[in-house]
Amino acid sequence: MNIYHIKIMLLFILVYLSGLFVQAQEEDLSLSLSLEKAMENNYGIIISRSETEIAGINNDWGIAGRYPMIDFSGGSYNSYDMNNTTNFSTNRLSAGVGLRWTIFDGFRVKVTKDKLDQLESLAKGRLAVVVETTIQDVIMSYYKILLQQEQLIVLENVMTLSKDRYDYEQSRYDLGTTASYNVLQAKNVYLNDKALFMNQEMVVRNSVRNFNFLIGEEPANTWRFTEEFKAGSKEYKLSDLLDKMMVSNQTLQNQYANLVLQQNEIRLKKSSFYPSLDISAGMRDDWIRVNRDGSDPSAGNGLNSYGNVLFSYSIYTGGTRKRAIEVARVNEEIASIQIDQMKQSLTNQLMNIYDFHQVRIALLEVANESLEAAELNMNIAGEKFRSGAINSFNYRDIQLIYLNAAIRRLNAVYDVIDSRTNLTRLIGGFITEN
């Protein structure tokens, strides 16, 4: 054995050991733990949570304009004058503090604070929608992996049967009891099933990587998914679903918040018809020093204080205030119409998904019965094939029937999970139940 072969063997050993290490690092991952990871690490939730935090910071009476403003100013002003008779320079130091406070401005402060409250509430509602979307995506991604893994098991079973058939034909050929054509045909079938199995392995790996992105984990992480791949037996009543949706659907609740925002906008525009009352007060100290050529410098200072009251009222603004109120009222009507539109759209969507769910449950029952028949038929066909009662083509057709029945049954389970998850989201179940 030369050095090249030794290097190749060492490389294979390292690859094998690294594979064992990766498998040893696998952790159990339930659906609930997956959701916890997503709530903590999902990028969309993190961004939306930060936006909600900003809305909370801005929801303050100071932003609304309730409190006075206090300013401090100070400066040094210098000049130097030259003429034919005498030259002199002036230095003036000035410092002052002032207060400005709007006492009344047509309830604008109160309306603005109400608007900030609604903006924060709307930001929380948007965060809830992002959370709901993420929960649904994680659930379906989790069960998508289980679906792909179950399909991998089915393909592995079919591949094993094809390998047994190929080995059986090869042994018969070695004994001289069959033709090479049958061996080649069995080999082609086995290689085709092996290719399907290998492709499915890649599909599973890709699904896990996409899932890791959703829950904010490293792409290379692998897990042992502990949930069972089953449809569940929860039953729904359409009237109950409709009632819950009208009360708890988060998208609809956000639209209600938007309507309140438009109503506050009308109040805000109306405040411009009221007068405003402002007060200001402060004090200012000036210190002046003058230097003249040929004479002693002179200095002086003065402290001034002031207190002012300003009452103002806009008598005529070219109709801009009235038009602003009219536009705000139209926007309120639009928001109200959008609520009615959303209610009807959500109702149609809920009824459609409910019908899909009922049909999918029935299709799952059909798929279960079909798979049972296909399994029994394939077991019988295997015995008949070995006894020579059916040929390899008939046996392969029965294998394909079993494969299709198994895949249909797995897809039927996934479809029921999908419709159940959609129903839960429409009625706001992800937020209210958790």
Do the domain assignments include residue 370? yes
d(CA 26, CA 410): 25
Domain count, the chain: 2
CATH number at residue 193: 1.20.1600.10
Cα R_g (the chain), whole angstroms: 39
Residue 233's pLDDT is what?
77
Residue 20's pLDDT is what?
46
| b/e burial code for range 408-424 (CB count within 10 A of at least 16 → b) | bbbbbbbbbbbbbbbbb
The three-point CA angle 289-295-298 to 5° equals 20
Structural contact between residues 74 and 274, judged by C-beta atoms closer than 8 angstroms = no
Q: Which of 290, 259, 229, 183 is nearest to 417 (CA)?
A: 229
Residue 99: domain span: 68-104+276-312
Q: Which of 161, 120, 167 is nearest to 374 (CA)?
A: 161
Taking only the tens of pLDDT, the chain with its 434 residues reads 455 444 445 445 554 445 544 444 678 999 999 999 999 999 999 999 999 999 999 999 988 888 999 999 888 888 877 665 667 778 888 899 999 998 888 888 999 999 999 999 999 999 999 999 999 999 999 999 999 999 999 999 989 988 988 888 888 888 887 778 888 988 998 999 999 999 999 999 999 999 999 999 999 999 999 999 998 878 899 999 999 999 999 999 999 999 999 999 999 898 888 899 999 999 988 888 877 766 677 777 878 888 899 999 888 888 888 999 999 999 999 999 999 999 999 999 999 999 999 999 999 999 999 999 999 998 898 888 888 888 878 888 888 899 999 999 999 999 999 999 999 999 998 886 65
The three-point CA angle 181-186-191 to 5° equals 125
**Summary count for the chain: helices (H), strands (E):** 11, 6
Q: Are residues 251 and 335 in the same domain?
A: yes
Residue 393's pLDDT is what?
80
Do the domain assignments include residue 6? no
User: pTM for this one?
Assistant: 0.82
CATH number at residue 89: 2.20.200
Do the domain assignments include residue 20? no
d(CA 29, CA 225): 5
Q: Which of 133, 149, 147 is nearest to 222 (CA)?
A: 149
Question: Which residue, of 288, 312, 336, is where some domain finishes?
Answer: 312
Q: Are residues 188 and 304 in the same domain?
A: no
The three-point CA angle 366-369-373 to 5° equals 135
**Widest distance between CA atoms in the chain:** 136
Structure tokens, 213: 């992105």
d(CA 431, CA 245): 12
Do the domain assignments include residue 54? yes
Do the domain assignments include residue 373? yes
Q: Are residues 239 and 302 in the same domain?
A: no
Do the domain assignments include residue 2? no
